[in-house]
Amino acid sequence: MSARDRFFRSLVAGLFAGVFWVDAALAQDAGCASKPVAGTSRQILRCRDGLTIIVEGGARFTLVDRDRNGKVDAVRLRRKALLLDAPAGSVPGGLSVVTPQAIAAARGTKWAVDVGQGKTSVFVLRGRVAVNRQASTAGVVLAPGDGVDVAAGTGPLTVKRWPAKRVSALLARFGQ
């Protein structure tokens, strides 16, 4: 079965289930191995060169290999959240997460991206992440402990230190 056939089978199954999971074969085609987390609806994708993505149950996303080198270099996230750990050198050129509201890009970092209720929230645990609105070159750079909420619109993005309660609630969704 071709990668295209596996993609459409996974997409159709996901639409009927209301959840979009990356089919294990699709993840492998993108240089990743998918493993469900026992007793939860989460899964962990372990990709070539050390990239790890923890997927919240019910997340809708697509792995992207823009330069066709067999490695993930972008993720399109439409719903729910991902916790990404991209150690230095794991994604040459950096890893981008594209959502309906924002683009978050980083090298050698650990961060979470959450899409819901008409906004994208980005939080950094380690390293630095550049965030900008879709169709905008103006953005912000987040450091560890910083977060930003990106809603539709044109106003400036406001970087905030997230309170411990908000960080704990987000990380709990990934079993962290």
Q: What is the pLDDT of residue 30?
A: 65
Of 27 and 88, the structure prediction assigns the larger pLDDT to 88
Topology at the third CATH level for domain 3-172: Jelly Rolls (2.60.120)
To the nearest 10°, report the CA torsion of 118, 39, 46, 150: 10
Burial class (CB in 10 A: 0-12, 13-18, 19+), 86: buried
The DSSP call for residue 93 is T
Burial class (CB in 10 A: 0-12, 13-18, 19+), 8: exposed
Helix (H, G, I), strand (E, B) or coil at 156: coil
Burial class (CB in 10 A: 0-12, 13-18, 19+), 156: exposed
Of 85 and 65, the structure prediction assigns the larger pLDDT to 85
Q: What is the pLDDT of residue 154?
A: 74
Q: What is the pLDDT of residues 18-49, one digit of tens each?
A: 333 344 444 555 678 989 999 999 999 999 88
Distance CA 101, CA 108 (A): 23
* pLDDT of 95 strictly over 50: yes
The DSSP call for residue 23 is P
Domain boundaries, the chain: 3-172
Q: Where are the alpha helices (DSSP H) in the chain?
A: 3-17, 24-29, 164-172
**Mean pLDDT of the region 42-57:** 92
* pLDDT of 2 strictly over 50: no
